[in-house]
Amino acid sequence: MLGLHLTADLHDCRCAPHWLQDAPALGQACLEAVAASGLQAVSQLVHPFPAGPNGPGGVTATVLLAESHLCVHTWPELGAVTLDVYVCNVGADHAPQARALQARLLALFQPGRQRLQELQRGSLIEAAQPLAA
């Protein structure tokens, strides 16, 4: 379980509207950001949501990484995005690549406001010891 979990809540995104609404374009941008960051995409699922009474529908884009995952959720009616990057660091330290991936996506969405969080998950000591019931 040793890894790094990055989350970002992005508000007032100034990107072109299609990055928040166009599922194929966002999915491709996620794959390109993963590759440019030095991580390995294994699979991808992108789901568009229909327009609603408050405006155009958003997108959920998930990229399964050999190192773990990337998830992006957009709310075009709010100009908002949440993103989640988790990398396993057992075989190697993938933290620099995870941070680079997050930075690429921040540059894509151009938030006016953002809340970034980092969570160190697990440890080698914990991994070596049995879990208590």
Per annotation, catalytic residue among 30, 37, 68, 94: 68
Position 133 confidence tier, pLDDT thresholds 50, 70, 90 = low
Q: How far apart are CA 81 and CA 86, in angstroms?
A: 17
57: helix, coil or strand? coil
17: helix, coil or strand? coil
- In this structure, are residues 17 and 133 in contact, taking their beta carbons and an 8 Å threshold? no
Answer yes or no: is pLDDT of 6 > 90: yes
Q: How far apart are CA 53 and CA 90, in angstroms?
A: 46
Q: What is the mean pLDDT of residues 1-20?
A: 95
68 is known as an active-site residue? yes
73 is known as an active-site residue? yes
Per annotation, catalytic residue among 13, 30, 37, 88: 88
Per annotation, catalytic residue among 5, 11, 18, 73: 73
- 0.85 cut: is pTM over it? yes
